[in-house]
Amino acid sequence: MHADAHGQPPIKPPQPATWREAIFELSAHERPSASDGERRAAESIAARLHALGCPAVVEQERAHGGYWWPLGLANLAALGGALLVSGQRPGPLRRAAAVLASGVAAAALWDDLGHGRRWFRRALLPRRPTWNVIAQAGDRMTPERMPPRTVVLIAHHDSAHSGLVFHPALGRIPPRFFPRLHQRSSHTLPILYGVWLGPVLVSVGAALGSRRLLRGGAALALATVAAMADIGMSPVVPGANDNLAAVGILLAIAERLRDRPVDGVRVLLLSTGSEESFSEGMQAFGQRHFAELDPHLTEMVCLECLGGPQLFVLEGEGMLRMRDYPEAMRDALADAAAEAGVSISRGLRTVAASDAIIALRAGYPVATLASVDYTKLPLNYHWPSDLPQALYWRTIEDAIALCEQFIRARASSR
């Protein structure tokens, strides 16, 4: 096997129709966001899709490739603001500077955590290449006729850094010590509010001269900086559940549509890079392609962490502001599950975020198909144990059947 231009042996794709093997193969290689490993994974996925009869391209985009620097630096700015007014009687200029520094930090965090314009990281942080894979299946558009209805299936092939905040023991606390509350809850604890509240409390405390608010905000900001540093220095996980299981589904759907073609619906199989840096790859895909995709003729299904024990149609997502997916899309996925004979649950929202949030903010009908375990979290989330051997393969097979049924239902309803 020859080394590529970057000095690394290429990932050799096996024969077509081996989506399970693809999960094992890709999980053996580190794939942090916007890295050479991510590029090699993208090229391997594109080659597999091409071998399955789906024309595929790898599009190079630009991304920062992490979230710990933007979140950590914003909280460092808030800490600096708190230090400015830490004396006995800070003057008005110091108080104004503290309010400004922490206020700008809070605004930057609201934008970044909400998957907005990302002006903070774009202005201050370096960017590097990231890679998206796009393949066409189903009924393909031709110049001789109007574009068909389009379904976009979205996965991602980069993998996350670990960190102590992702320790599995933390997710087991609510079901063990607060079982009734945990059973009734529609989402897990929104811990990212702590990332944003630190700068908010510092800004308000500096404006009001409240030392209690300043101390509380500084403590939250310091804890955030420590957590982000730990994540940045932690190893990259194998990412079998998050999100190679979804990549496997894209390959399986490509095979099924090759063997049993559909008319009247074009299917785009999209695997993004830099999803783990807050959907930078999906954001770049939108900037490049959303103008070509009519929201009235396009539906999107985000596939996330589908190797756990319990399959769900999520109701919505949001790190700070919860946004529900269109009800019609959620119901359509549930209907497809029923028609495919797949057991699926409803009622959960995620306080993390997926690539679906980019499409949702852009006005597309979109919903997310995911799986969780009894903690209501993804299996082995951002932890070194996220290996192919731990996957619930039946759940992945159910998700494949659901997605195929969803596509065929779209074709028959035209």
* DSSP state letters, 250-319: HHHHHHHHHHS--SSEEEEEEEESSGGGTSHHHHHHHHHHGGGS-TTTEEEEEEE-TTSSEEEE--EE-S
Q: How confident is the model at residue 16, as a pLDDT?
A: 42
**8 A C-beta contact, residue 300 and residue 373:** no
Tokens 């942090």: give the residue: 32
198-245 confidence digits (pLDDT tens): 999 999 999 999 999 999 999 999 999 999 999 999 999 999 999 999
Residue scoring higher pLDDT (5 or 340): 340
The lowest-confidence range among 97-101, 126-130, 145-149, 254-258 is 145-149
Residues 354-373: tens digit of each pLDDT: 999 999 999 999 999 999 99
Strand arrangement of the beta sheet that strand 323-324 belongs to: 323-324, 316-317, 349-350
Domain boundaries, the chain: 19-62+130-162+235-412, 68-122+173-233
Q: What is the pLDDT of residue 103?
A: 97
Tell me the pLDDT tens digit for each residue of 375-405.
999 999 999 999 999 999 999 999 999 999 9
Burial tier of 332 (Cβ tally within 10 Å: 0-12, 13-18, 19+): buried
Sign of the torsion formed by the C-alpha atoms of 167, 381, 333 and 339: negative
Q: Domain 19-62+130-162+235-412 is of which CATH architecture?
A: 3-Layer(aba) Sandwich (3.40)
Whether the predicted model's global pTM rises above the 0.85 cut: yes
Contact 82, 214 (CB under 8 A): yes
Q: Residues near 317 by Cβ (< 8 Å), separated by ≥ 6? A: 323, 325, 349, 350, 351, 352, 353, 354, 356, 357, 368
DSSP assigned state of 62: E
Task: Tell which wins on pLDDT, 1 or 374.
Answer: 374
